[in-house]
Structure formats: C-alpha cells, structure tokens
Amino acid sequence: MDDERPLDPEAGAAIVEAQRARVEASTAVDPRVLFGAWGLAWLLGFGLLWAAALDEPLVPVDLGVALAVFFALLAAAGVVTAVHIATRSRGVRGMSARQGALYGWGWFLGFAVVGALAHALRRAGASEDVVSLVMMATSVLLVGALYMAGGALWDSISQWALGAVITVSTVVALVVGLPHAYLVMSLGGGGAMLVAAGVEALRRRRARGH
C-alpha cells in the first residue's frame, strides 16, 4: 500500500512562491549596493571638495586634486553599479535582462558625457569655480534622474524617493552656492544614500526574521 499522500495545494503554492522569491532575490538589483557605493563616493568626494575649497582649507589639498579624487570616486561607484546590474541580469532572459543592461549603460554613458563636459568647459576658458559648479550640478542631477528612472523601472518607491531627495538637495546646493554647496551634497546626498542603504539592510533583516 502506498503511504505517499498527495501534496496539499496550499503547501505546493507556498513552495512555488518561496522558489519565485529566491529567484527574484538573486536577480533583482540590490539597493544596498547602489546606495552604498554612491553614498560613500559622495560623502567622501563632496566632503573633500568642501574642505579644500574653504577660504581657510581644512585639508592641505589643492582643489584640482580634490576634483580628481572626486571624479575617481564617481568612476569607482559607476563601475560597481554597472558590474552589479550586469551580474544580476546575467541569469535573466527577455525584457528584464534588456532593461538591466540598458539601465547599466545609461549610468556609464551619462557620466562619460559629464566628463566630456568638464573637458569642454576648461578648453573654453571657464574658471575652476564655474567648472566645479557645473560638474557638481550635472553629476548630481544625473544620479537623481537615474535613481528615479530605476525606481520606476523596478517599481521601487524607495529608490525613486531617494532620487527625488537628491534632486531637491541639488536645488538647495545651487541656491547656497560654493563652497558650502559641496557640504550640502556630501550630507544631503551622500548621507541620504547611506541612510537609505542602512534602512534597506534593516528591512531585509526583519523580513528574514519573519
């Protein structure tokens, strides 16, 4: 006599849902990575620019060197973003894979344009203050717009809201003006992203606890 019993429909549905959640978790973009990479780059990069641009600098670093460090940090965050999205999209087929790839290329191409703009402004004879202000505004607005686009793409309210916060911080920074605009972006932009990364980590920890 066969002792095996048919699988309960509810139990079967739970197994399917658990498997779907595991697959989704392994392929979805992790906000902790994006928020953490860009938050750290902004907190350190903009913080260094502010400390170097004061009338009485807090650090013995030339503003040009601080800008170079800032762009290096942005480039590193961009690489982390592109690699993370490409890795998460690797096991996905169809529309989702294409969305992830196009979104990753959007980050890369967007910051390539920002770098080219800085070069063009210097060739045109723009002062270092003008170059700094334009670079700050364009790079920050680009990140804010891409976060909002990513939030819309993956239906992530937290990612969209962070993009909106970054965009509003940019407006405040432009009103404040240099050099304190750098401090606004360091704390309001970078700080907000690191807080968002922490909140997301806490949310996931609580979800696992349930």
Q: Per-residue DSSP letters for 9-71?
A: HHHHHHHHHHHHHHHHHHHS--HHHHHHHHHHHHHHHHHHHHHHHSSS-SSS--HHHHHHHHH
User: If we measure between CA atoms, which residue out of 173, 185, 152, 153 comes closest to residue 38?
Assistant: 185
Average pLDDT (177-202) is 90
CA distances from 147 to 45, 47, 72, 161 (A): 19, 22, 20, 8
Instruction: Give domain status of residue 97, yes or no.
Output: yes
pLDDT at site 18: 43
pLDDT, tens digit, for every residue of 144-178?
898 898 888 878 887 888 889 889 989 999 999 88
7 within some domain? no
CA 184/CA 49 separation, integer angstroms: 11
Range of the domain at 134: 32-51+59-209
Residue 135 CA: distances (Å) to CA of 74, 101, 157, 170, 196: 12, 26, 28, 12, 24
Q: Which pLDDT band holds residue 26 (cuts at 50, 70, 90)?
A: very low
Q: Is the pLDDT at 5 greater than 60, yes or no?
A: no
- Segment 81-97 shows an average pLDDT of 67
In a domain, residue 184? The reply is yes
Considering its fold, how many domains does the chain have in total?
Answer: 1
Is 56 in contact with 189 (CB distance < 8 Å)?
A: no
Residue 142 within a domain: yes
59-79, pLDDT tens digit by residue? Answer: 998 888 998 898 899 889 888
SS3 45: helix
Q: With residue 98 as reference, give the H or E element that holds it.
A: helix 95-123
The per-residue pLDDT of the chain, averaged, comes to 80
Residue 22 lies in a domain: no
Q: Which residue has the tokens 């973009």?
A: 29
- Over residues 122-151, the mean pLDDT reads 86
Domain assignment of residue 27, yes or no? no
* Residue 189 located in a structural domain: yes
Of 200, 186, 202, nearest to 38 (Cα)? 186
Residue 120 has pLDDT above 90, yes or no: yes
Distance separating alpha carbons of residues 140 and 132, to the nearest angstrom? 12
